[in-house]
Structure 1
């Protein structure tokens, strides 16, 4: 008997995990209207009936009943509805080892056509609302993502292996996204010099440590905005901004709109 192991693959299987931010059913109408939306998460639309539209890069896509739509993270788009549409939607992330979403560099909406039976099934599972249906819904979300990747022949590349130093830095930032995080502070925590950490981080991540820190703080801001009872001031304080006006200015520079407006844009 012979057993072959692949430690890198085994580790990756434990690393890849879908974060489900929200799953809900919505009947949308003319109020569903927003321009220049930019989200750090994937949107999955299981359209049961009706129609609406999204527009990106001067391309208009009609959302129609019986189809599933995957809108990648970091794709800037506008959306509107002229009549009504019924859909189950899911907001998810698929973070890689670098904590970036695996779809963050893909810039097209993916359409899975002729999916009425699957859509009706996932809506029925959502209405049941028990443990078994939760497992079924999560399985469907994974299957949808996989089919989208295969249909579009999207390669996510080889498994990226980082040094222990960079992996530790990423984990600290992921667990503590805060403006107070700096290269000197991280370097001291990791028992290396700031220059050594910054050089190694840029070499492996292809981005400066400072830019990565800023991006992770902004990603966290969006996740906090999803919580309705968290005020803008509370989010600002949580992330280490001196006041909510500074936070709003920085957020607007990054996402193109103030946090209060962005909060409305991430609704279904």
Structure 2
């Protein structure tokens, strides 16, 4: 597990206060950005892959990046929302089992309000995620973020760390890997996606034969090394398709796919859309 906090480079993409009703019922959201909510009034639910989470006033909630979820709201629901983007290659939050819901410290709401004041102009103008999880919105808000005065950027990052620390304080390291040899392999894959890691190199890294590595990896991860590599590549591809205008062929090549048709098949199997349609689904929307 990599606990290097120097890999935590979070920027605020959106922050604001909203009161919603039946309009907050969006389905099957899978965003490359992490969401934090602090509820101030009312009730709603978030449907996650493994549970349905009730949202209550005075509590704070987190939805990590690439977590498929749906919103359910039948009455008045008021909350602060914070969408954050990690600029580093590896998001160390994915190494932890974060609690979805936490009871916060007394100062938490004041920190969120202060962060809101430090980030002017980053409120959402639409509640539908397709209107703001897109490249133009990302580029515009990253620019706004970085154009703020230095003290505001420093203080904002400090507050983000404080909020994430509240979740990490109650988090547990993911225990899906008991074998240290597989831990080394996972760390290598995550940091060498662009280098096209192959099974022979991974076997040498783990001091195992190719067949032995595949057998142990499948036991620990419930998938083969190739499936895991493609899973991480597809997450990186989703982020790049949303946040960049790089040609799809170039993204495929940079992620180790020499055959774009194969890249397209793997991407569609993962997301249900071709890379082109995935990009269009976001880029055709405007704020």
TM, length-normalised to structure 2: 0.60
**Runs (5+) with no aligned partner, structure 1:** 1-11
Superposed CA deviations along residues 40-72 of structure 1, whole A, max 9, x for unmatched, are 65322468x9999764158486698x8753113
- For 2:282, the equivalent position in structure 1 comes to 264
**Runs (5+) with no aligned partner, structure 2:** 121-146
Within 5 Å, which residues of 2 pair with 1:1-16? 15-16=4-5
Within 5 Å, which residues of 2 pair with 1:27-38? 34-38=26-30
* Residue correspondences, number: 246
- For 2:225, the equivalent position in structure 1 comes to 209
- For 1:95, the equivalent position in structure 2 comes to 92
- Residues 1:76 and 2:68 are matched in the alignment: yes
SS of corresponding position for 1:35 = coil
Deviation at 1:90, TM superposition (A): 1.3
Within 5 Å, which residues of 2 pair with 1:233-248? 233-242=249-258, 244-248=260-264
Deviation at 1:131, TM superposition (A): 3.5
**8 Å contact kept, 2:11–2:84:** yes
Superposed CA deviations along residues 131-179 of structure 1, whole A, max 9, x for unmatched, are 33333222222221232355xx543368x7864x545533432232159
1:60 and 1:195 mapped to 2: Cα distance?
41
SS of corresponding position for 1:69 = strand
SS of corresponding position for 2:116 = helix
Deviation at 1:87, TM superposition (A): 4.4
- Residues 1:224 and 2:230 are matched in the alignment: no
**8 Å contact kept, 1:17–1:94:** no
Q: Give the alignment's Cα RMSD to 1 decimal.
A: 4.8
1:13 and 1:182 mapped to 2: Cα distance?
22
- For 1:156, the equivalent position in structure 2 comes to 173
Which of 160, 170, 194 is the equivalent residue of 1:141? 160
2:255 and 2:208 mapped to 1: Cα distance?
25
**8 Å contact kept, 2:43–2:55:** yes
1:234 and 1:110 mapped to 2: Cα distance?
41
Within 5 Å, which residues of 2 pair with 1:172-187? 172-177=188-193, 180-187=196-203
2:262 and 2:160 mapped to 1: Cα distance?
37
Superposed CA deviations along residues 165-196 of structure 1, whole A, max 9, x for unmatched, are 54553343223215953313433577753124
TM, length-normalised to structure 1: 0.63
1:193 and 1:109 mapped to 2: Cα distance?
43
Of 49-58 and 12-21, the range deviating more from structure 2: 49-58
SS of corresponding position for 1:230 = coil
Deviation at 1:118, TM superposition (A): 1.8
Deviation at 1:36, TM superposition (A): 0.7
Superposed CA deviations along residues 65-116 of structure 1, whole A, max 9, x for unmatched, are x8753113453213599999874421347427xxx44247x6x465759854
- Residues 1:43 and 2:46 are matched in the alignment: no
**8 Å contact kept, 2:3–2:92:** no
Cα 1:113–1:187 shift into 2, 3 Å: closer
The higher relative CO (CA closer than 8 Å, separation ≥ 6) is in 2
Cα 1:228–1:117 shift into 2, 3 Å: same
